[in-house]
Amino acid sequence: MNKKLTHLERLEICLDGNIPDRTPVALWRHFPIDDQNPESLAAATISFQKEYDFDLVKVTPASSFCVKDWGVQDVWRGNFEGTRDYIKFAIESPEDWEKLTVLDPRKGNLAAQIRCLKLIVKELGADTPVIQTIFNPLSQAKNLVSKENLLIHLRRYPDAVKIGLQTITASIQRFIEAAIKTGIAGVFFAIQHAQFSLLSEKEYLEFGCQYDLQALEPASSLVFNMLHLHGEEVMFDLFSDYPVSIINWHDRDTLPSLAEGKRRFRGAVCGGLQRDRTMVLGSPETVATEARDAINATQGTRFILGTGCVMPIITPRANILAARRSVE
Q: Looking at residue 254, which CATH number applies to its domain?
A: 3.20.20.210
Q: Is the pLDDT of residue 3 over 90?
A: no
Does 225 fall in a domain? Answer: yes
Give the pLDDT band of residue 214 (cuts 50, 70, 90).
very high
Q: What stretch of H or E contains 45?
A: helix 38-52
pLDDT tens, residue by residue, 72-84: 999 999 999 999 9
SS3 86: strand
The answer to whether 268 touches 248, Cβ cutoff 8 Å, is no
DSSP E strand boundaries for the chain: 57-59, 73-75, 85-88, 130-135, 186-191, 226-229, 246-249, 268-273, 303-307
| DSSP label of 209 | I
Q: Is the pLDDT of residue 246 over 70?
A: yes
The answer to whether 235 touches 201, Cβ cutoff 8 Å, is yes
pLDDT tens, residue by residue, 281-318: 999 999 999 999 999 999 999 999 999 999 999 999 99
> Distance (Å, rounded) from C-alpha 18 to C-alpha 9?
12
Does 176 fall in a domain? Answer: yes
> Distance (Å, rounded) from C-alpha 174 to C-alpha 76?
28
Does 26 fall in a domain? Answer: yes
pTM of the model as a whole:
0.98
> Distance (Å, rounded) from C-alpha 208 to C-alpha 165?
9
Note the pLDDT of residue 2.
65
Rounded average pLDDT over 128-155:
98
Q: What is the number of domains present in the chain?
A: 1
> Distance (Å, rounded) from C-alpha 112 to C-alpha 193?
27
Does 46 fall in a domain? Answer: yes
Tell me which residue range forms the domain holding 121: 7-325
| DSSP label of 170 | H
Rounded average pLDDT over 91-108:
98
Does 2 fall in a domain? Answer: no
The answer to whether 5 touches 327, Cβ cutoff 8 Å, is no
Does 1 fall in a domain? Answer: no
> Distance (Å, rounded) from C-alpha 163 to C-alpha 101?
11
